[in-house]
Amino acid sequence: MKITAVETLVCHARMRNWIFVKVVTDQPGLYGWGEATLEWHTRAVVGAIEDISQLIVGEDPRRVEHLWQMMFRQHFWHGNGIVRATAISGIDLALWDIAGKIANMPCSQLWGGRVRDWVRTYSHLGGGKMEDFYETSVDDAKQFGDLARRAVEDGFTAFKAMAVPPTMPLEGLRPIRLAEAAVAAMRDAVGDDIDIMVDCHARPSPAMGLKFGKALDPYGLYFFEEPCWPESIDGLAAINAAITTPVATGERITDLATFRELFEKRGCEVCQLDITHCGGLTAARRIAALADAHRIALAPHNPQGPVSTAASLEFGFSQPGYIICETVHNDVPWRNDVVTEGFTIEPKGRIVRPNTRPGLGIEINEAAVKQHPFEQELLQRVFYCDGSVGDW
């Protein structure tokens, strides 16, 4: 059995261009689907997949780990830069899909069988009017309460909001009070039985992240995400040690060694590995083992497209330390034209029942994808009040 081609299909889906990866074999009808979506780097990832595919075309697709090693190591630069890691991830997902199809079982069955009956999901409310806190009032911040109520009406028992504004390395009380007002409004709106998460989007400095974390600690957040840059593992560890709320991070980490350092320094309690950026399911399973050794929970970052979701869920059904999965619901109205999925979502509680199809259980309608060709993403720029550049 041989790989004959690695193809990419780009599908513009409002916020992002989904990059689907199709690994084709010489066996009639046997192929696998992966995803390598990377916002603002679509052309680079498509090119990287074309480059990397040269290493594996002609090889046996059943040797998933061996092919991962080839893709990661058999060129001068290791595959842990974000573009190469995403390209490898997309191909790796497709190889696991093929493995499941050959075995005629869902991937979670290949990995030892299901460890749970369902997976909990959460939605992302976005950032409301928090982009410029000089222009945002406490009343604006209170609108997070309406967003929260809507998420619960949509069936979710957990949601996340970017309720922390972008800030310079040090600021006074104003942004802290806004974040408090937003979180208080959400808690008032939904009560204590719903889990609320706050995403700082890695904007604060460690000092500001600590201030936000301390201020929001009394609201009993389920987790507090990326309270400072991911490069600052010491900063993450200091914040995690100083507050009761569990710190979550990991979506921007693309190599095992950095996950090891993050866990060893106790930079988080929740690991948000992204299966389309961390090296695919092959690498995700290694990261999960490391997390397990530190008793750190798994909650994958998953704002991408349907193959990323299918892979993140299949992973969740196989990992004991997995607590919840991010989902994007209502992303594009034509989603069901492009993809059919093997799992089912129960509207009440937004829990997912297992995939019953082989592999990742995904089928992509290539003709429908072609209705939505590449479009440049809208630039999301942040400047502070003095005109200096901030993080989006």
Active site residues: 201, 301
Binders of Mg ion: how many residues, by CB under 5 A? 1
Cα–Cα distances (Å) from 388 to 22, 118, 301, 313, in that order, read: 42, 46, 29, 40
d(CA 158, CA 135): 29
Distance of CA 89 to the CA centre of its chain: 13
Sole residue written with tokens 């600052």: 232
Closer to Mg ion by CB, 249 or 355: give it. 249
Q: Which stretch binds Mg ion (CB under 5 A): 118-126, 191-199, 349-357, 365-373?
A: 191-199
Instruction: Mark out the alpha helices in 302-346 (DSSP H runs).
Output: 306-316, 335-338
Of 2-10, 84-92, 195-203, 239-247, which segment contacts Mg ion by CB under 5 A? 195-203
CA angle 20, 21, 26 (to 5 degrees): 140
To Mg ion, the closest distance from the beta carbon of 6 in angstroms equals 29
Site string for Mg ion, 198-237 (x = CB under 5 A): -x--------------------------------------
CB-based contacts of 78, cutoff 8 Å, min separation 6: 72, 255
> Which of 35, 199 has the CB closer to Mg ion?
199
Q: In the complex with Mg ion, which residue's Cβ is closer, 195 or 199?
A: 199
Residue range at the interface with Mg ion (CB under 5 A); choices 137-145, 178-186, 196-204, 367-375: 196-204
- Burial of 288 (C-beta count, 10 Å sphere; 0-12/13-18/19+): buried
Q: Which stretch binds Mg ion (CB under 5 A): 121-129, 194-202, 260-268, 326-334?
A: 194-202
Question: By CB neighbour count within 10 A (0-12 exposed, 13-18 middle, 19+ buried), where does 228 fall?
Answer: buried
Question: Closest CB to Mg ion among 180 and 199?
Answer: 199
Which residues contact residue 155 at a Cβ distance below 8 angstroms, ignoring those fewer than 6 apart?
346, 347, 348, 349, 350
Q: Which residues inside 88-117 make contact with Mg ion, applying CB under 5 A? A: none
**Tokens 């400095």 map to which residue?**
205
Q: Residue 344 Cβ, how far from Mg ion at the closest point, in Å?
A: 26
User: Nearer Cβ to Mg ion, position 197 or 243?
Assistant: 197
| CB of residue 91 to Mg ion, shortest distance in Å | 24
* Nearest residue relative to Mg ion (C-beta): 199
CB of 226 to Mg ion, least distance (A): 5
* 200 vs 291 by CB, closer to Mg ion: 200
Q: To the nearest whole angstrom, how small is the minimum distance from the Cβ of residue 84 to Mg ion?
A: 22
Amino acid at position 5, single letter: A
Please measure the distance between the N-terminal and C-terminal CA atoms of the chain and give it in whole angstroms: 45
**Closest approach of Mg ion to the CB of residue 249, in Å:** 8
Residues lying near Mg ion in the complex (CB under 5 A): 199
